[in-house]
């Protein structure tokens, strides 16, 4: 990542993001990290002037426009007409009611890519219903995959639906449509529904169902915490570690390093033996603090990693060596991903203050100094 050697692979593309919460700003961050000029349109009623925004607004520019005023809406249209793509994350119909719907946008800017991210999608019987990450993951069947034996499914962090199923598929869809627009000269609408994205993420598990790798009964499923060699264990100091020694050579290595020399690796997949062996491994790991097991197992083929909190993760030697985390304005943030060899991502910069670039952007769009002052006086921009 260098702001000098490469402006990023998406340099030269302008993307207008209509400010919201959750997946849309994260998708904008992904695109901005890769060099796109992402301009966040803040609504005048949002408040919070002068405050720094969240990390997902890094490398973006911010303009405040009152979309309920004719002149504010006209400025927004001028901005959209200068863009390669637009992204928004409102319920279906909100952008249309604001007067900024995709039909009119594509009429004014035929090559525009119009990206939309929602939980349920732009159509279907649930399209207008409220929902959150947990609901979207549940409806796809993916939440059921976290169930251990007879216990209720484990609630995942709000990353699976919002960020993985929503934001990343929005960014992927927008880039795909931008590539196609370069050939055809025509834009299109990208409907990124979180339920669609999570359903796609579960493709491999759907394929494996009923196979030895994904039996129907959770107590026989290696990947659901039933197997002693694929589990989270508590250490003597109350910290936790993970073991994931699925393949026979890795399992044999784990047994050797834990001193379980009387356990025959050939019995690895005998389900009847799992509860007793799990209890035995748990007892062994409880005898020492996490640091002991890190020294003994980390970096080996025993498939081991400690459970780190966010601060510990940022300080881990592996992440430090790779530059997985960076410091932006005193805050630790994840570095842009993935890594490109010839046109790397931009170095992350601080998120803009709300409306920080309003005047500069209006001037880029052809407004004169007096025009900007008039819009400000009328409250059409901030």
203: tokens are 């493709």
Compute φ and ψ for 247, nearest 5 degrees: -70, 145
Return the number of other C-beta atoms located less than 10 Å from residue 159's C-beta. 13
Catalytic residue among 33, 162, 191, 196: 162
Token digits for 139? 């409806």
* Backbone φ, ψ for residue 155 (5° rounding): -70, 120
* Residues in contact with 276: Cβ distance below 8 Å, sequence separation at least 6, in sequence order: none
149 labelled catalytic: no
With CA atoms as reference, report the closest residue to 99 among 122, 121, 69.
69
Angle at which helices 23-33 and 168-184 cross, to 10°: 60
Element (H, E) at 323: none
- 316 noted as active-site residue: no
Closest Cα partner for 245 from 278, 198, 292? 278
From the candidates 123, 132, 207, 267, give the one annotated as an active-site residue. Answer: 132
CB contact at 8 A, 366 and 78: yes
Which residues are tagged catalytic?
132, 162
């Amino acid at each position: 990542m260098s702001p000098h050697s490469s402006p990023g692979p998406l340099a030269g593309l302008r993307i207008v993001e209509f400010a919201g919460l959750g997946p849309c700003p994260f998708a904008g961050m992904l695109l901005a990290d890769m060099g796109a000029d992402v301009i966040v349109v803040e609504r005048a009623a949002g408040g919070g002037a002068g405050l720094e925004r969240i990390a997902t607004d890094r490398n973006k520019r911010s303009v405040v426009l009152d979309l309920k005023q004719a002149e504010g809406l006209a400025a927004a249209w001028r901005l959209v007409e200068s863009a390669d793509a637009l992204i928004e994350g409102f319920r279906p119909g909100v952008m249309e009611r604001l007067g900024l719907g995709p039909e009119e946008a594509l009429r004014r800017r035929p090559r525009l890519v119009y990206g939309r991210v929602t939980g349920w999608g732009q159509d279907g019987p649930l399209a207008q219903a409220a929902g959150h990450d947990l609901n979207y993951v549940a409806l796809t069947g993916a939440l059921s995959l976290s169930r251990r034996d007879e216990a209720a499914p484990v609630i995942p962090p709000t990353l699976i639906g919002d960020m993985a199923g929503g934001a990343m598929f929005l960014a992927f869809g927008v880039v795909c449509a931008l590539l196609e627009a370069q050939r055809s000269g025509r834009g299109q609408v990208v409907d990124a529904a979180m339920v669609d994205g999570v359903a796609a993420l579960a493709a491999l598990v759907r394929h494996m169902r009923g196979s030895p790798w994904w039996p129907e009964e959770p107590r026989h499923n290696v990947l659901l915490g039933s197997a002693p060699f694929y589990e989270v264990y508590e250490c003597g100091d109350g910290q936790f570690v993970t073991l994931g020694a699925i393949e026979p050579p890795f399992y044999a290595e784990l047994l050797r390093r834990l001193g379980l020399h009387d356990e025959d690796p050939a019995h690895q997949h005998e389900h009847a033996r799992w509860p007793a062996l799990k209890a035995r491994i748990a007892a062994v790991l409880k005898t020492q603090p996490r640091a002991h097991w890190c020294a003994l197992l980390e970096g080996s083929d025993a498939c081991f990693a400690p459970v780190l909190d966010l601060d510990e993760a940022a300080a881990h030697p592996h992440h430090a060596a790779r530059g997985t985390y960076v410091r932006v304005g005193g805050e630790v943030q994840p570095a842009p991903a993935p890594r490109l060899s010839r046109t790397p991502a931009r170095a992350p910069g601080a998120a803009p203050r709300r409306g920080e670039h309003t005047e500069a952007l209006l001037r880029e769009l052809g407004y004169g100094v007096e025009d900007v002052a008039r819009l400000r006086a009328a409250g059409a921009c901030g």
